Amino acid sequence: MPDQSPPLHLAAALDGAGWHPAAWREPDARPARLLTAAYWADLVAEAERGMLDLVTIEDSLSLQSEVFDGPDGRVDRVRGRLDALLIAARIAPLSSHIGLLPIAVVTHTEPFHLSKAIATLDYVSGGRAGVQVRVSGRRDEWAHFGRRVPPEMHPDNLDEPASRLAITDRFDEAADYVEVLRRLWDSWEDDAEIRDAATGRFIDRDRLHYIDFTGRWFSVRGPSITPRPPQGQPIVAALAHRAEPYRLAARAADIAFVTPHSVADARWIIDEIRRAEADAGRGGEPVRVVADLVVFLDETTTAAQDRKDRLDELAGAGYASDAAIFTGTPAQLADLIGDWRAVGLAGFRLRPAVLPHDLAQITRGLVPELQRRGAFRSAYHGDTLRTRLGLPRPASRYASV
């Protein structure tokens, strides 16, 4: 009997030389190429070879650091990176099917700028663009801009009343930010461009709309300067670890990246997000809940564990992550995916511990294994990322009925 389950979605999270801090010291790593377009083009080509739905490209507004409030002073880690959105724009014409989601820190940037940048990426990629919005609580990032006093927060006191209020404010601000993005993407109706040389009319001005958004953090009149993107609404994603980002994802996102550590944990997180959707009165398509996993993949479990142990020794400490860490073979990872998927996860975003090694293990080991089990597609379907995720193309909210 054919598999009647919803399609399984797979993504890769790309970050520097890989998610392990010593990844850049592996023999097949390419640290000298990290700041080249060719490096990122090769990674995305490999991900597309494995028919992954999308890649996310890490970014931040401060140097990578292992401490919460500033640079850690380490010189044995990768430090420095390119702008994720510009990477995506550079490699979009070099790919054909895979979705491209750069990370954007929304706490210190303006939604008008990001809206036209992501809309442009959607045009450049032919309808494969999205963005993962990120909230900043780091004082060193706030200090780069100097427009506001940073909240008093520390990982050890996040559940204290003052910290919870500050966190709620930041995620409410992010929800408003996404609302402005979406309104700006809708501010041009699909047929606003006439391009009629005979009559001299390039646009129908009546099909461009002010969005007139006024909220606590933003006042944006619109319309956008970029016509409506090919997808209508590019994909919005958010990483969620706790109640406040769960609410953000439920209110504003198409994809929620979450970090369960067991089947029971995954089930609980999905229930929390569904409750948050109900509380927000969300209609239409529910958010796609996708689990993050850090992966060390090799042909044998022993080889994968030995590699992780060697990297931990180079790093001077055992690797820890917000996400669950999987060490084993592609077939064992396929087993885990099957078990966890049964609770209602839409898919998995895999964080390769070492690039390009673990990405190739995903595309050339895991994907064929899932295909043999009938659990993953053998070809790309649909022209846009929205289509591949099973999301309809929405009409502009401002379009005349």
Residue 339 tokens read as: 């078990």
Cα–Cα distance list, 54 to 2, 88, 368, 380 (Å) = 25, 11, 17, 12
- Identify which of 393, 385, 301 has the alpha carbon closest to the alpha carbon of residue 11: 385
Distance CA 17, CA 7 (A): 30
Residue 251 tokens read as: 């209110």
Distance CA 246, CA 253 (A): 10
Distance CA 55, CA 58 (A): 10
- Identify which of 300, 307, 305 has the alpha carbon closest to the alpha carbon of residue 365: 300
Distance CA 62, CA 82 (A): 12
Distance CA 125, CA 121 (A): 6
Distance CA 201, CA 213 (A): 29
In sequence order, the β-bridge partners of residue 257 are 239, 290
User: Is 59 assigned to a binding site?
Assistant: yes
Distance CA 121, CA 92 (A): 8
Distance CA 182, CA 163 (A): 29
> Which segments are annotated as binding site?
59
> Which segments are annotated as binding site for FMN?
59
